[in-house]
Amino acid sequence: MRKISFILSIIMLCCCVLASCSSGPGEEELKAMYDELLAKPSSEITMDSNLAIKAAREVAWNEFMAVERREESRVTEMAEKAITFGEATMKFEVKIVGKAGPNGYPVYIALHGGGGAPKEVNDQQWDHMKIYYLDSVENGIYVAPRGVRDTWHTHFNDESYPLYERLIENLSMYYGIDTNRVYLVGYSAGGDGVWQITPRLADRFAAVNMSAGHPNGVDLTNVYNTPFQIQCGQNDDAVKTRNTECARYCEVLDDLQETYGGGYIHNVNMHILKEHGIVDNSPTHEPQAVISNPVQWFYGEKVVPTSVDANAIGFVDQYVRNPIPEKVVWSVGYRAKLCDTETFYWLRAAKTVTEGIVVASYNKETNTITIEQNTANGPISIMLNEEMVDFFSPIKVVIDGVETEYNVTPSLDYINKTIAERCDPNMIFAAEIVID
């Protein structure tokens, strides 16, 4: 009997050893393999595993950075704190606060008030915004751009959008920012800017705060993955019902959330009895009296008061961008017309595609991409990296319940293409599938 038990024990031990051998490399071994890949030029990395694809993306980004940092126009832009696109120049001020986090500094882009006013007024407002939210930033890079023209839409002239993209790219190049923690805040005309900029560049920002600005009929469909805080004085009705429109947009975001089954994180602070001056920057986070039922107040119901921390920086700081969210909602035509960028998160459509909504999601466990809705008036592409799918198994694409399998080959050329397009280390892709 003992002999039989001994034999059984040996068999069980052998099975355990075999199981451990077949379970693949351990954590330390994977790290050593990855480090070995990182030591090679990107052109010498054979992308024969998902780990190798990840390494190729990182190495290619570092190679790109080494070249771009020496690019004369970028060096001049950062030295002079001014970027030009066409006939428009955006000046900006940069202040560094505290220490960088493990992934780099968060960035707070703060837009000043003023707008359609004399140059001296907008310059004064810009100077004020250079410090307005600054005391609320504990660690980060605080950037105050000057509106490109002294017009009512000072922060969202057509040229403004490519200038914001270039500004974020340059900050990534020279300051080592965390591109998953870029935030947009603004007051008055700066709030007008937040309304318009966010849906057109939604995949650039982790979260935004709009204070005392007017939405002017903006479409917020694209902010599914971008938390959005709205703040306004209850009595701030000087400009085309600014107060009631801010309250109404709480319902707009509620409806979008219901339509698309989630997303659209939002908060609306209507500051009780306040006009255009509200406290949204208390560095001590002093509670402010706001309306707890803004939608009901919009429809004429009695105000229900509450107290909240209305600090704009405190709101946005809660969120980190997911550069490859599991679900994307894209109103394809709602993008900045002077930006060359054809991509939105992990979707692509040529600039000639000007209409329609695309709703898409992925499931890494099942290696599946699902196109839930597509009314775009042209082909779209699904961009892929190893964090979304396993390149070495068939990738399934489901459209209208019909499943199609694709075998996709990663490409260094495509990696470099997406690096050049976005200049964002967290949004680099290795292949695409075109859906016509």
Owner of token pair 């600005």: 213
Q: Identity (one letter) of the amino acid at 274? A: K
pTM of the model: 0.93
What is the SS3 assignment for 422?
A: helix
Instruction: Read off φ and ψ for residue 376, nearest 5 degrees.
Output: -65, 145
Which residues fall within 8 angstroms of residue 15, CB to CB, at 6 or more apart?
none
The token pair that represents 96 in the structure block = 């560094």
d(CA 323, CA 53): 17
Beta bridge partners, 145, equal: 92
What is the SS3 assignment for 190?
A: helix
Owner of token pair 């490409």: 411
d(CA 36, CA 76): 36
d(CA 80, CA 96): 17
Q: What is the pLDDT along the chain (436 residues), one digit of tens a residue?
A: 333 333 333 334 344 433 344 456 788 888 999 999 999 999 999 999 999 999 999 999 999 999 999 999 999 999 999 999 999 999 999 999 999 999 999 999 999 999 999 999 999 999 999 999 999 999 999 999 999 999 999 999 999 999 999 999 999 999 989 999 999 999 999 999 999 999 999 999 999 999 999 999 999 999 999 999 999 999 999 777 999 999 999 999 999 999 999 999 999 999 999 999 999 999 999 999 999 999 999 999 999 999 999 999 999 999 999 999 999 999 999 999 999 999 999 999 999 999 999 999 999 999 999 999 999 999 999 999 999 999 999 999 999 999 999 999 999 999 999 999 999 999 999 999 999 8
Strands (E), 104-188: 105-111, 140-145, 177-187
The token pair that represents 411 in the structure block = 């490409």
Q: Identity (one letter) of the amino acid at 72? A: E
Cα–Cα distances (Å) from 256 to 249, 264, 356, 379, 391, in that order, read 10, 7, 16, 25, 33
Residue-wise over 268-289: b if at least 16 C-beta within 10 A, else e?
bbbbbebebebebbbeeeeebb
Contact between 276 and 233 (Cβ < 8 Å)? yes
Contact between 325 and 264 (Cβ < 8 Å)? no
Q: Identity (one letter) of the amino acid at 420? A: A
β 305-309/287-291 pair status: antiparallel
